[in-house]
Each structure stands twice: as C-alpha cells, then as structure tokens.
C-alpha cells in the first residue's frame, strides 16, 4: 500500500475519531482487498459543487468527519467574506441514508461558528432550499443529497446568496478554505445550538404559492382538471410537495405510484433512482398503461430532475428524453406567453452547450434571446444574475432532465416542472392531441433534431486515468472524419479555443474553462465529450438533425436519424 495512504489510516486509528469509525477501519483491514485503500487513497474532493461520494469510513468517503471539515471550510469563507455582518444559511436534505444525520452535522458546525442556521424539519426537494435561501436572505446554504446516484452515495451541494450553487470566484475560494482544514481538531463541532431554527410548513406554503404563480393557462387546467396523471417520487423527497403543487394547480385526478411513494434511501424498487433510466420509470409506466393515463412523471431523490412518459402518435407509451422534454417546455413557455400577452421584448431563455440546438432555433424564430452556458444550473443562475435588470428570464434547461421556470429559484426544479408539464399536457388535450403530437408539429415547424447520450463508466483509481487519457487522445488527435462526414470544428472548452480543422483558423471561447470537447461535422451533426463531475463516467452526447416536411414522414426520418447516430457511435468505437 502507498505509504501516504497507510499514514492516513494510522492517523484515523490513533486520532480523535469515534470508536465506531475505528472499528470499521479494523474490519476493512481484516477483510483485505482494495476496499480499505480505496477509502483512504485520496481525500474526497470538495469540487466546485461540493462533495459527492460513497458513504463509509475514510478520507475518500462521505462521513461525519469529511462533511464536518467541508462545512468548517465553508463557514470560514462565509465569515471572511461578510465580516461583521450577520451570516445566515439554510440547510436541507433528501431521503438518502444518513442525509438527516449529515444535515444536522452541517447545522451544528455552522451554528458553532456563530452562523444563524435555518434547518428544514425533515426531507425537502432541493429546489425549495434555493427558494428558502432567497426568501430568508441567507448568505449561503447546503443540501445533503447525491441526487440520482445509487444508494451507496451521498453528497453535499453548496449554495451562495442568490440561491444558486457556487460559481467563480466563490467555488475556488471555498475549496481553498476547505483544503486548509488539516485536521478534525480544526472543526467546531458543537456549542452553537441556539443559532439553529427549524423551518417547514411556512416555507412550504410560500414555495407552493410561488410555483402556482408560474402557471400560464390556469383556465385550461380548470377545463381539463381531470387530466389523468401518474406520478412517482422514486422513493424521494418529491412526495412532500409534488402532489400538493398539482392540487394547488387544480388537478384532481392524480395517481401516486404506491410502490415508490415512501421515502427510502435504499431505493428498494430500483438500481438507479434516476428518471433518466427506463428501469426507474418502469413501475410508473406499467400503472400509466393500466389506467390509460394522459401523462406519467417521475422525479429523482432530491426532486430536481423530472422524467415523463406519454403516448406517441401510434398510441404506444414512450419515455421522452431530456432534450425532447426541454424542447416542449421551452416552446410552450415562449408560445403560450406570447398568446396570453405576457411576452416581454427583453425575454430570454438559457440552455447548456450539450442541450438540443433545436431550442436555439425555436428561440430565434420567435425573436427571443437564447444563451448557451456550461453544463450545470449554477451557470444558468449566474447568467440570470448578470442580466438582471436588462433582460427578463423565462425558462432554462439542460438535457439531463432539468428545467428551471421563472427566476424565483436558482436551481433546477422538478416540482415546478411537473406542474408545468401537466399544464402543457392539459393544453394539448384541450386541442385534441398529445404532447407527442405537439413535438412532431414542432419538428415540422423548426426542423427535426434527435439526440442521444452514452455514458461509459470507469471506476476506481485507474478509471479516472483512463477517462483523462480518452480526453487527451481526442485533443491531440481529433478525428478527420466521423461516420463519413468531415470534422469541421473542434471546440475545446478546457483550453477555451475553437478551431476550424480545415482552414486552421482558431478563436477564443469566452465561457469559463470546462473539460468538454465538441466536434462539429460538415453534415451538421455534433458530438460532445464530457467527463462527469459527480460520477466515474465519461459522457458522449450525439445530436443530428434534418428537415421534416410533414407528420406522415416522421417515422422514416426518425429511423434515418437513428441510423446516423448508430453510425457515429460505431465509427468512434464507443460500443
């Protein structure tokens, strides 16, 4: 074993750690294998979004000590930034195992540092934390969640005073402060309990009222109030507020998937509690079919992602991908607000660089500014802050099943997204069609865009190296052609340089640095490669498009675009 790793293990065995922790380390030692080394070979990185990792003992795990040290660093930075001013923070957590324990640990450390803490009484959707930060005038916040990761994981998302996750310079500055916490002895663990205020129902009521205010067509919901809705929280925090919000909107025919209704950090019915995964939506889909529902919706454990199922043009149930859902939501907010006379001349929408370019087209043809930012809703939140007072934000989204409607929160919000998507389904039903019919109409109007995502998992120490090697290989030797089409441009967001591979011309990319590569092909196809910031994966995003003359041509064109994506994947040897 590496001497540094062994030194860390010895420090935990002899240092001021509780006996339960020391016994767990001894048990791993006795069992042998790689588990002990993997738990200590590095420190769990406090990245630009916070912490995320497997729960357990060790410096590379989510536990009381890594969470406490991270919080002490964050507390130090808040106090340095705001000096003598009162510092307030809000804290929430999801349904995961240990989430309440971690949230209370975070609260105790902040409070011991003289910071006023607002701690939710029990699990809550992540977007409500963002809303609470803004409502209570907090300087920061934390939610304990690992979002859609498997049950072994937990995490810690850090927020700033606008209700958005940390962005420069605060993200890097907090990391410096966290890294400066050399020992658990540096952490103030207790002594400020009087600084903690428990919050709950009053904030829930304000949040529900805010979400209700996002409705564009409440008159249509009144007519279609019995829209048959199936909803699954996938054992997560959505159960706290989604049914309540749907009731506030006026929907009266909501069916909860009972097998997945109870919050449970073991996620007993799924492997991955992620609405992006068809397996996680399968029980809900079965119920939707059984009762002939109009729409199926599922949210992840912390209720910031939403997946939907609808009947397609053949009457078959299908799960929509995140790009399709985003296209529908953006188009609805643009068109419905215009029709209602709510549109403003300075309206803007925001998407990420790996999200469907169909949204850019929809916005352009409706004379609305559409901005592209890096992956992550913190960048959407940052741009809203930058444009405040000059441009009016309407909606933002990304392909990974995230939407953010209105600017009263600054993170993706599946609770308001569920309500909006049900309103959209009611609107289309009033016109005698489904959301899928609407999507095909949009393809005819704006062009037919099809996207696909592949995630390649590379676990452990070697896995990280392999992902880095793949990215470096693409940088050093970009392919000249992909699937028979010449590569015209290579966009390197890490080096912040775009390059025309035919002419050699290059230009500066003005977005912040991010380890993303994009290949733009002569036939209009786009391929993006991006290592995940929260999981041991590298993600490849494929986007192809064509024109669609009429609805009748949809199936043939869909097959054509699917074949093109298959060809790209095969040529890049990704499967």
Residue whose token pair is 């609770």: 415
Instruction: Write the pLDDT tens digit of every residue in 384-409.
Output: 999 999 999 999 999 999 999 999 99
Query: Is 416 annotated as catalytic?
Result: no
d(CA 569, CA 322): 20
Say how far apart CA 496 and CA 491 lie, in whole Å. 8
Residue showing tokens 């389904």: 425
CA-derived radius of gyration, the chain? 24
* Pairwise CA distance, residues 390 & 394, whole Å: 13
305 contacts: CB under 8 Å, gap ≥ 6: 147, 148, 274, 275, 276, 299, 400, 401, 402, 412, 414
| 66, two tokens | 């890594």
Contacting residues for 118 by C-beta, under 8 A, at least 6 apart: 88, 89, 90, 91, 132, 136, 138, 197, 199
Residue 32 pLDDT: 85
Distance, CA of 186 to CA of 176 (rounded, Å): 15
Residue 466 has pLDDT above 90, yes or no: no
pLDDT tens-digit readout, 422-451 = 999 999 999 999 999 999 999 999 999 999
Indicate if the pLDDT at residue 464 is higher than 90: no
The pLDDT of residue 564 is 97
> What is the spatial distance between Cα 396 and Cα 511, in angstroms, rounded to a whole number?
17
Output the six-digit token pair for 134.
């803004």
The one-character DSSP state at 238 is: G
Q: How far apart (Å, rounded) are the C-alpha atoms in residues 488 and 27?
A: 56
With the C-alpha atoms ordered 53, 55, 60, 65, is the resulting torsion angle positive or negative? Answer: positive
Q: Please give the pLDDT value at position 458.
A: 83
Alpha helices (H) along 254-357: 278-291, 322-339
Which residue's entry shows tokens 């196809």? 525
Query: Looking at residues 523-540, what average pLDDT do you find?
Result: 88
Beta strands in 185-232, from DSSP E residues, in sequence order:
196-199, 229-232
Residues contacting 538, CB < 8 A, separation 6+:
455, 456, 458, 467, 470, 471, 529, 530, 531, 532
Q: Residue 534: pLDDT band by 50, 70, 90 thresholds?
A: low
Mean pLDDT for 283-301 is 98
- How far from each other are the two terminal CA atoms of the chain, in whole angstroms? 35
Nearest to 422 by CA among 259, 310, 257: 310
> Which DSSP state fits 165?
B
- List the structure tokens of 142: 């934390």
Global pTM reads 0.95
pLDDT at position 305 over 80:
yes
pLDDT at 48: 74
Task: Match 């392999």 to its residue by tokens.
Answer: 466
Task: Flag whether pLDDT at 236 surpasses 80.
Answer: yes
Instruction: Give yes or no for a contact between 39 and 57, defined as CB atoms under 8 angstroms apart.
Output: yes
Q: What is the C-alpha to C-alpha distance for residues 218 and 426, in angstroms, rounded to an integer?
A: 10
For the purposes of burial, counting CB atoms within 10 Å of the CB of 104, is it exposed (0-12), middle (13-18) or buried (19 or more)? Answer: middle
* Residue 365: Cβ within 10 Å count: 12
Burial (0-12, 13-18, 19+ Cβ within 10 Å), 525: buried
Distance CA 86, CA 88 (A): 7
Mean pLDDT of 232-254: 98
Asked whether 118 and 89 are in contact (CB, 8 A), the reply is yes
310 contacts 435 by C-beta, under 8 angstroms:
yes
Residue 46's pLDDT is 86
CA gap 540, 518 in Å, rounded = 10
Residue 49 has pLDDT above 90, yes or no: no
Q: Cβ–Cβ contacts within 10 Å for residue 442, how many?
A: 23
* Mean pLDDT within 518-538: 90
CA angle, residues 142, 56, 160, in degrees to nearest 5:
10
pLDDT tens, residue by residue, 339-387? 999 999 999 999 999 999 999 999 999 999 999 999 999 999 999 999 9
pLDDT exceeds cutoff 80 at 106: yes
Average pLDDT over residues 184-210: 97
Q: Is the separation of the CB atoms in 278 and 319 below 8 Å?
A: yes
Tens-digit pLDDT profile for residues 144-181: 999 988 999 999 999 999 999 999 999 999 999 999 99
Query: Domains of the chain (ranges plus CATH)?
Result: 1-41 (no CATH), 42-199 (3.40.120.10), 207-446 (3.40.120.10), 449-571 (3.30.310)
pLDDT surpasses 80 at 460: no
Average pLDDT of 241-265?
A: 98
Mean pLDDT, rounded, of the chain: 95
- Ranges of beta strands (E only) in 416-509 are 448-457, 481-482, 485-492, 497-500, 506-508
Rounded (5°) CA angle 547-553-554: 80
Spatial distance between the Cα atoms of 119 and 142, rounded to a whole number of angstroms: 10
Which residues, other chains included, contact 63 with Cβ-Cβ below 8 Å and sequence gap of 6+?
21, 55, 56, 57
- Which of residues 476 and 310 earns the better pLDDT score? 310
To the nearest 10°, report the CA torsion of 160, 164, 169, 175: 70
H or E stretch at 475: helix 460-476
Instruction: Kindly give, in sequence order, each residue whose CB lies less than 8 Å from that of residue 569, ignoring residues fewer than 6 positions away.
Output: 452, 454, 540, 542, 575
3-state SS, residue 462? helix
Nearest to 512 by CA among 168, 83, 77: 168
Catalytic residue of the set 14, 99, 122, 147 = 147
Residue 415 has pLDDT above 70, yes or no: yes
């Amino acid at each position: 074993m590496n001497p540094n790793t062994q030194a860390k293990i010895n420090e935990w065995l002899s240092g001021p750690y509780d006996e339960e922790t020391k016994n767990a380390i001894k048990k791993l030692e006795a069992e042998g294998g790689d588990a002990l080394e993997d738990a200590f070979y590095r420190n769990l990185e406090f990245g630009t979004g916070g912490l995320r990792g497997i729960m357990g003992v060790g410096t590379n795990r989510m536990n009381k000590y890594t969470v406490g040290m991270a919080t002490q660093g964050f507390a130090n930075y808040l106090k340095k930034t705001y000096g003598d001013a009162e510092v307030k923070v809000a804290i929430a957590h999801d349904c995961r195992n240990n989430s309440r324990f971690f949230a209370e640990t975070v609260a105790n450390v902040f409070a011991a540092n003289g910071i006023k803490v607002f701690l939710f009484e029990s699990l809550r959707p992540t977007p409500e934390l963002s809303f609470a930060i803004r409502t209570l005038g907090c300087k920061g916040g934390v939610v304990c969640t690992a979002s859609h990761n498997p049950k072994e994981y937990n995490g810690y998302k850090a927020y700033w005073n606008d209700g958005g996750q940390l962005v420069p310079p605060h993200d890097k500055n907090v990391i410096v402060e966290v890294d400066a916490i050399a020992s658990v002895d540096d952490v103030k663990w207790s002594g400020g309990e009087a600084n903690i205020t428990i919050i709950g129902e009053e904030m829930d009521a304000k949040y529900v009222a805010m979400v209700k205010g996002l409705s564009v067509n409440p008159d249509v919901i009144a007519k279609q109030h019995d829209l048959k809705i199936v909803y699954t929280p996938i054992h997560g925090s959505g159960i706290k507020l989604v049914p309540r919000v749907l009731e506030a909107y006026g929907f009266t025919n909501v069916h909860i998937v009972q097998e997945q209704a109870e919050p449970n950090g073991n996620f007993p019915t799924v492997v991955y509690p992620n609405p992006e995964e068809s397996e996680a939506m399968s029980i809900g889909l079965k119920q939707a079919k059984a009762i002939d529902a109009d729409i199926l919706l599922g949210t992840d454990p912390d209720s910031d992602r939403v997946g939907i199922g609808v009947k397609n043009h053949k009457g078959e149930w299908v799960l929509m991908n995140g790009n399709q859902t985003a296209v529908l939501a953006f188009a609805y907010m643009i068109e419905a607000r215009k029709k209602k006379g709510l549109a403003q001349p300075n309206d803007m929408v925001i998407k990420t660089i790996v999200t469907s370019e169909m949204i850019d087209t929809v916005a352009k043809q409706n004379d609305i500014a559409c901005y592209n930012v890096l992956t992550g809703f913190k960048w959407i939140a940052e741009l809203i802050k930058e444009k405040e007072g000059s441009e009016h934000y309407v909606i933002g989204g990304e392909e990974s099943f995230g939407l953010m409607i209105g600017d009263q929160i600054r993170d993706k919000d599946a609770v308001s997204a569920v309500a909006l998507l049900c309103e959209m389904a009611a609107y289309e039903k009033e016109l005698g069609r489904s959301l899928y019919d609407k999507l095909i109409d949009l393809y005819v109007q704006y062009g037919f865009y099809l996207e696909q995502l592949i995630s390649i998992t590379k676990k452990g120490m070697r896995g990280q190296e392999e992902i880095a090697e793949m990215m470096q290989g693409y940088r050093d030797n970009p392919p000249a052609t992909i699937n028979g089409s010449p590569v015209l441009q290579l966009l390197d967001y890490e080096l912040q340089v775009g390059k025309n591979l035919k002419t050699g011309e290059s230009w500066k990319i003005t977005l912040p640095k991010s380890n993303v590569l994009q290949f733009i092909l002569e036939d209009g196809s786009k391929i993006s490669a991006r290592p995940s910031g929260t999981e041991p994966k590298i993600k490849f995003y494929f986007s192809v498009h064509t024109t669609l003359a009429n609805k009748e041509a949809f199936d043939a064109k869909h097959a054509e675009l699917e074949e093109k994506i298959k060809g790209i994947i095969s040529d890049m040897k990704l499967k």
